Chain A
Amino acid sequence: MGIRLENLVVKFGDFTAINDLTIQIPKGKLISLLGPSGCGKSTTLFTICGIHKPTSGKIYFGDRDVTGLEPEKLGIGLVFQNYALYPHMTIRENILFPLRNLKWDKKEAEERVLEVAKIVKIDGLLDRKPGQLSGGQQQRVAIARALAKKPENLLLDEPLSNLDTKLRVETRQEIRRIQQETGVTAIFVTHDQEEAMSISDQIILMKDGKIQQVSTPTDIYMNPCNKFVASFIGSPAMNFMRLDVKEGVGTVEKCIFNGLPKNKKSIDLGFRAEDMEVSEDGFETTVQTVEVLGRERLLTLEFNGEIFKMLVDKEFMIAEGTRLCVRPKVGKAYVFDTETEEFITKC
């Protein structure tokens, strides 16, 4: 079971929103579709649920070919970004609505409403109207409505983007819990890498309608396959620097990088803020700002007009404006091709 997309292409007029997408989503897993605005992640979701129609390619739910079917034939649950709760119905009627359409037995339907309401913890609000609920509560109702008919697949379109930061962190854990409890296969669309990292079994990172990388959160963080993935995943974002290479060796002041590709004249070097150290064999930077994050401090360093972010221990005292000699930790820097932006090696 699960969901399978094969060579999916979606075009709106001349614009190709999704270009040759092939993904396999295993049953019972929570998968994130991650990417910047306009990368085609929501389009992918709406194509899976039948609201958009694919130009070519196939969609399978398990062994069932569902390509081009209307939404009402699919039996999926969908949570909209703005929840789309019917404003004139009470919460109970909202959750009952899909069950009535499926002609469930009245008593069973009522019981099911209570059951899902308890799962998402809104059983005390059933007789209110959506307008009387807070954003977080409406969010839960939307999930309850989507889950009521016991769908095998639950699709969520940026479900947290209308909530404030604190509620967002809470709710994403709730979504994870509900998904685990119900065992539903979930596809979660988001542009927030932190959100994707924290709740998904797998992340599908997209850009311009194409898949960049499919991997577990840890792996996508540790082993980005190209410069875009490296820059998109992680906060603060990865630092990059262009490096001239001679005979496989690159030098920045006293900092020497060995083991670089011998056939390249220059490469892009990427390193994360937490993978930098103070070293005499480094390059000299100016400390522009020091941000106290609590557990650690975030330095903004300037070097030849370029800006680098570096995380240091909270005990590390340094004044803004001082000179600091730093380098990436050995073996923790990523080497990318300057033209294809593909990952080459670590150094």
Chain B
Amino acid sequence: MLNNKGKKSYKGYLYLLPALLVLSVFVFYPIINAIVFSFDETKAVGYVFGFGSYKYLFEDKRFLQSLVNTVIYAAVVPALSVGLSLMIANTLANLKNEKLKGVFQSIYFLPYVTSLVAIGVVWSWLFNGQYGIINYLLGFIGIDPINWLSDPNWAMPALIIFSVWKSLAFNTLILTTGIASINPQYYQAAKIDQATNSTIFRKITIPLVSPIILYTYIISLIAGFKVYTEVFVLFNGRTLDGRVSTVVMYIIDRFYGDQDFPLAFAAAVVLLLIILTVTFVQRTIARNKVHY
């Protein structure tokens, strides 16, 4: 029996082999290589093999600013996006009119299936300091025009608004599905128990979709740390004195611009570690809170 069991698990590894090979070539090998390379000599100051790149990295104002920007972005965008999505999803789920519900669901999902580049072009017009509709609307409530895309102080808020709007689509879709999968009897029971709509939302809906809230939040958080495309399409590759530079932008800049590979790799490794840590912490906290 024991022998038989041993044979079986051997066979099991064999089935894993194709996936393992592909992952090894395209994921594990590059990661390990990046880590190894990150200890290599860096052009920047001519450090020799060792922690030179890392040391340089944490003395580099450009990197530190990119890191701070990324952290701010990852702290604000996922939280805002998931929170808003939850409210939209709940409103959608409570719509009685099925036709209207379908129409609204499609509208909310549109940004997800539209090219980010196209959306970026549209939003850069919306944000336009002179002709943009956002400034036009703000004018009605007496706010002076803001140079969203060229004023370094307003660049990050513009980026956050744009990114939250963009990510609402996917999060709303997932959360709507999550809310729809809650047994309607809980809602009937809560109504019979004379709960108000806000009580139902807080005490029934949120706890019952909490695993899905966590899922969307972690996915958004990881995407938040890896943000690049959003910045690129909205600001057309500019970083406004580094005010909207992110870690990934820094990596790309070092890699293709300066061709300082060890430095780029070191930055990539730092990002990897941050994402791993944050995800791990999130999951540990969540494991104690999200279950029923």
Interface residues of A (CB under 8 A from B): 49-51, 70-72, 74-78, 80, 82, 84, 86-89, 97-98, 101-102, 129, 131, 145-146, 149
Cβ–Cβ contact B194 & A86, under 8 A: no
CA–CA, A62 to B57, complex, Å?
Answer: 79
The answer to whether B195 and A101 have CB atoms under 8 Å apart is yes
Residue B191 at the chain A interface, CB threshold 8 Å: yes
A97 and B188 contacting across the interface, CB-CB below 8 Å: no
Query: Contact: B192 with A101, CB < 8 Å?
Result: no
A75-B194, A84-B183, A97-B203 known; A51+B292 contact, CB < 8 A: no
Picked from B193, B199, B204, B292, the residue with its CB within 8 Å of the CB of A145 is: B193
Interface residues on B, range: 10 to 19
Residue of B nearest to A142 (CB): B189
**Within the complex, what minimum Cβ distance (angstroms) separates B202 from chain A?**
11
- Say what secondary structure dominates the interface of chain A: loop
Q: Which of B188, B192, B195 contacts A76 (CB 8 A)?
A: B192
Contact of A72 among B194, B204, B207, B292 (CB under 8 A): B194
Of the candidates A71, A77, A101, which one forms a contact with B188 in the assembled complex, judged by CB atoms under 8 Å apart?
Answer: A71
Q: Is B292 within 8 A of A101, CB to CB?
A: no
* Number of residue pairs A-B, CB distance < 8 angstroms: 63
Query: Considering the chains assembled together, what is the distance between the CA atoms of A300 and B185 in angstroms?
Result: 44
A70 to B191, CA, bound (A): 8
Nearest to B208 among chain A residues (CB) is A88
* Neighbour of B191 across the interface among A71, A82, A102, A131, CB < 8 A: A71
Contact yes or no, A80 B189, CB < 8 A: yes
| Contacting residues, chain A, for B194 (C-beta < 8 A) | 72, 75, 98, 101-102, 149
Which residues in B have their C-beta under 8 angstroms from that of A82?
185
CA separation between A266 and B195, bound complex, in Å?
60
- Distance between Cα atoms of A70 and B204 in the complex (Å): 19
Contact B208 A101 (CB under 8 A): no
C-alpha spacing A80/B186, complex, angstroms: 10
- Picked from A77, A87, A89, the residue with its CB within 8 Å of the CB of B192 is A77
Are A84 and B191 touching (Cβ within 8 A)? no
Q: How far is the CA of A72 from the CA of B199 in the complex (A)?
A: 12
